[in-house]
Structures are given as structure tokens and as C-alpha cells.
Amino acid sequence: MDSDNPTVEAFVKAMHQQLQQSYSHDYYPYTKLVERHSIHLGVMFVYQGGLFEGGDTDFGQPISLQLDTVKFPLTFTIYPQDKHYVIHLEYDGRTYSRHDMEAIGQSFAALASGMTSCNLLSEAATVSPADVPSLLQLGRGETMDYDRTDTLVSLIQRQVRLTPDATAIVYQNTRMTYRQVDELTDRLASYLLTHYHVKPEEAVGVMIDRSELMLIYPLAIMKAGAAYMPLDFHFPEDRLQYMCEDADVRLILSEGHRVQEAMPNFKGDVVLSSVMDSLPESTTPLPQLLTTGRYVLLYTSGSTGKPKGVALEHRNIVNFCHWYVRQFRMTPADRAVGYANFGFDAHMLDIYPALSAGASVYIIPSDMRLDLTAMNEYIKQQRLTIAFMTTQVGYMFATTLRDNHLRLLSIGGEKLMPLQKPDLEFYNVYGPTECTLFSTYFRVDTDYDSSLIGRPLANYQLYVVDPQMQLVP
């Protein structure tokens, strides 16, 4: 029998053999064993029936097995009745609800029925066809309407027209308005098209430290019709080289000697930030972007040991921005904390929703990111209002710094440990890069002691499936 994926017949035979072998240990009452050794089991499964079938006996009348002396949180009993089987569930109401029991009974019935009509055990569904619609509805996010022709660039350009002189991004002593960002990125995009002939959706590397370039370079690359690819200069050379070769990167936007020091064997072109001091006016028409065009290429660690590239499209981030702005009630009065590492996908949620709402983004300097006290002082001085942090940092920030100025903090990336309700609006979020930042969110409005990740984002559909991609209850 294939232990990983047995046939139904082989599985039933194996269970029968196991049961027969267990009879050699039936000299001591099970209930006494549980009592004597204080065994705490969550589920007791009992099958009653079939002992007196197949001929005449002198044993008298059968009686039901009584387990009154030992109670389990859940006792699952099956016995034959006429030509059917009856499932009897006895449960501890402090642990389970009636709804839980109905779901367990229905799933078992669906599994038993499925085993009679399939060959492999893995093919037997635990959800009946009648229950599929309700499960799909449970995993469906609310419907959210917006202009589906928008790209990330057009979202930001709309704010340029609405609030051209409002502050868009701040880094230390550098402060740029929406108009300045728009004009500079237009010129840089035109320069990339004219001098380097950047092609649609081509991957263009970006290797920089934290600064306003975290917005300028990506937006210019997007305006040129290409996709930017963050490159962390702290990564080993072989990892960076593999990423660039895998993505066919022939051009990197950088600063100083970072590319030369991190990737001495890179053979492509490098554009330095100093070129922006003398960029000519934009004369080359910028391309019309597609909502299905990719705008970013991110490399994750990968399950095989090699980095894995993930491409996201404009329509992905546009939906996220609309949801984020609406769910977190973002307005032009907000000032967002730019905390995330540029090589981490969360840098997008620091920057792009804020700019789509007309808010300002304040990039946290590298030397301040792990100094919570200094970062909190900066947040208070600059009157910053909304932030995302990785789980461990966000947990420390929310539980140790009670005098912060933030109105809202979301955290994600790892399992959230138990904590008392923070003094600010607090969200636990979850999602892989492939789903554009995160897929679910949960507002922590009481003391938190669980692993809840909440509900799906608007226009998202979640599925809980087994390894065979079948729905599970």
C-alpha cells in the first residue's frame, strides 16, 4: 500500500488489520486505563455493531457500551440501524458548539459516501456538493467597485492634479511635493527610454539605500513601461547575480559605488542618482500602460533554496490601494511611516496607498529602524499617523511604547504572539507576496490570544484546501 496515497480498498484492509491486532491488548478495560494514568484525549471514536451478526448465538441481547465514567471533549459513536448507520455525537459545550458538531457529522458522512465512489482515498471529498456554495461564500471578500482602467501610475497622477503642492515624500531634510515627484520621474522615464531603450515590462534593477529614491526610481521605471526589481546590496554576490541573470536585468538604477561593490561582475549598464541633476525636459512620449502589465518583480527566498521571482501587475496593486485607503480611512491629512525594507514587498504598502490618497510618506532612516525609542520620537515629532511593521518589531512597538502618536498600526510576516489590546487601532495581517502584500486582515480590538488572521480583502476569494486542492470544512 502506498502510505502517502493509498487506495480506499487498501486503507480499509489496513484499518481492519490494525483493529484485529489491537484485540490482543483487550484484557484491561480502556476506561480504567484512562482513569489510572490520567490520559487526556480530545476525541473518543466508538463503533458499536456487527458483533452479533452472521448467525444464531446464545449470548443474549446486545447492550450499548457505556462510557459514563470517563468523559471526553468529543465522543463520536457510530452504530447500525436497519440498513443505515447512525452517527451520535456527545460533546463538551465549553469546547465545541452545536454548529461544530453538525459540521463534523456532515463531513464524516460526505467522506464515507465519497469512499464508495472513488479509487484513491485522497479523492474522497470531506465536503458534500450541497455545502460547497456556503464554503465559497465564507471565503469571499466584499465586492468593491472602482475604475478598473487605472494603473498605479494613473492613481498617483490623479493626486498630482488634485494636490500638486502637497508633500508627497520626506526623507531627512529632503521634502518633495507631488508636482516635483511627477516632473522628475517624467524626465527620468524619458531618459531611460531615449538612452537605454527600456522595453515594456522589462525588469530594471534598483539598488539603493533608504531615501526618497525608493519612490523616484520605481515610479520612473513604471512610467517607462518597465517593471522595477529591488536589489538589496547586503545580499551575497551570487544571490544578486542569480536574480539578475534569471530576470534578464541589463540595467540597474543605483547610487555611488553600490553596484560595483555588491556585484563586481555585473556586465550591464548602471544609472547613478547624480544623473538627475542634469536631466533634460521630457520630450519622449511615455507609453500607455496596461492594467495587466507587470510593474514590479520581487524575489523571495524560494522553497528550493534558490530565489523565486514573483511578478505583480498594476491591477493587483490598484485593488490593494483602493482597499487599504477605504479600510484604514486614509486621507490627505495622513502621514505614513515608510518603515519596510525596500527589498521586502511591504515597502509598497508603505508608499503606494498613501500616494493614491494624497497623503505623505516619511521614510525612516536605516539607523533608526531598529531603535524603537528614536523611531517613536520621530513619529511624534513629525506627527505621523499610520504604519506597517514586521510582527516582532510591531509587537514591541505596540506593547512597550504607550505614548506613540500613531492612530493605526498593522503588522505581519510572522505569527502574532498573545498581547493585551493596544492603545491604538491595531491589525494582524497575513498574505504571501504572490497575492500582492496580504490577503487577510484581523482587527485586534480585545486582548489577543489566538492565531486569527481574519477576513479576506475586498475582491479576494480564499479557499481552505487539502494537499489535493479539495475544499475542506
What pLDDT, in 10s, does the model give residues 181-192? Answer: 999 999 999 999
| Residue 63 confidence (pLDDT) above 70 | no
Residue 412 CB-density burial (10 A; 0-12 exposed, 13-18 middle, 19+ buried): buried
Identify the residue with better confidence: 77 or 54.
77
Cell of 212: 526618497
Cell of 22: 489491537
Residue 418, pLDDT score:
87
Cell of 124: 474522497
CA distances from 311 to 8, 41, 45, 459 (A): 41, 47, 48, 20
Mean pLDDT of the 151-163 span: 97
Residue 135, pLDDT score:
83
CA–CA separation, 356 and 160 (whole Å): 9
**Which band of pLDDT confidence, cut at 50, 70 and 90, is reported for residue 137?**
confident
CA–CA separation, 356 and 451 (whole Å): 31
Residue 403, pLDDT score:
74
CA-based torsion, 332, 407, 345, 452: positive or negative: negative
Residue 472, pLDDT score:
84
Q: Mean pLDDT in the chain?
A: 89
Tell me which amino acid residue 137 is. Q
Identify the residue with better confidence: 449 or 200.
200
Identify the residue with better confidence: 171 or 137.
171
**Which band of pLDDT confidence, cut at 50, 70 and 90, is reported for residue 466?**
confident
Strand pairing class (335-338; 360-363):
parallel
**Which band of pLDDT confidence, cut at 50, 70 and 90, is reported for residue 253?**
very high
**Which band of pLDDT confidence, cut at 50, 70 and 90, is reported for residue 2?**
low
Residue 131, pLDDT score:
83
| Residue 61 confidence (pLDDT) above 60 | no
CA–CA separation, 399 and 382 (whole Å): 21
Strand, helix or coil at 324?
Answer: helix
Residue 88, pLDDT score:
83
Identify the residue with better confidence: 133 or 230.
230
Mean pLDDT of the 121-139 span: 84
| Residue 235 confidence (pLDDT) above 90 | yes
| Residue 23 confidence (pLDDT) above 90 | no
Over 453-467, what HEC string results?
CCEECCCCECCCECC
pLDDT > 90: percent of the chain: 58
pLDDT > 70: percent of the chain: 94
Residues 280 and 213 sit within 8 Å (Cβ to Cβ): no
Mean pLDDT of the 51-73 span: 55
**Which band of pLDDT confidence, cut at 50, 70 and 90, is reported for residue 121?**
confident
Strand pairing class (227-230; 203-206):
parallel
CA–CA separation, 382 and 403 (whole Å): 14
Residue 303, pLDDT score:
57
| Residue 51 confidence (pLDDT) above 70 | no
Residues 450 and 432 sit within 8 Å (Cβ to Cβ): no
CA–CA separation, 80 and 64 (whole Å): 12
CA–CA separation, 300 and 89 (whole Å): 46
Mean pLDDT of the 85-114 span: 85
**Residue 191, C-beta contacts closer than 8 angstroms, at least 6 positions apart:** 275, 279, 280
Measured CA angle at 359 (ends 355, 360), to 5 deg: 90
Residue 136, pLDDT score:
86
Hey, what's the torsion of the CAs at 8, 9, 13, 19, to 10 degrees? 40
Residue 159, pLDDT score:
97
Residues 312 and 319 sit within 8 Å (Cβ to Cβ): no
| Residue 206 confidence (pLDDT) above 90 | yes
Residue 423, pLDDT score:
87
Residue 379, pLDDT score:
95
Residues 306 and 242 sit within 8 Å (Cβ to Cβ): yes
Strand, helix or coil at 167?
Answer: strand
Query: For the chain, how many residues are written?
Result: 473
Hey, what's the torsion of the CAs at 318, 321, 327, 331, to 10 degrees? -130
Provide the 8-state DSSP code for 339.
Answer: -
Residue 227, pLDDT score:
98
| Residue 124 confidence (pLDDT) above 70 | yes
Count, in order, helices (H) and strands (E) of the chain. Answer: 13, 18
Residue 107, pLDDT score:
86
| Residue 53 confidence (pLDDT) above 80 | no
Residues 156 and 180 sit within 8 Å (Cβ to Cβ): no
Other beta carbons within 10 Å of 371: 13
Residue 68, pLDDT score:
52
Identify the residue with better confidence: 98 or 50.
98
Mean pLDDT of the 129-155 span: 91
* Strands of 74-81's sheet in order across: 43-47, 74-81, 84-91
| Residue 70 confidence (pLDDT) above 80 | no
pLDDT in tens, 308-323: 999 999 999 999 999 9
Task: Please give the sequence-ordered ranges of beta strands (E in DSSP) within 391-465, or none if there are none.
Answer: 408-412, 425-430, 440-443, 455-456
Residue 101, pLDDT score:
86
Residue found by looking up cell 483602493 in the block:
322
Residue 82, pLDDT score:
81
Q: Which of 86, 53, 90 is nearest to 75 (CA)?
A: 90
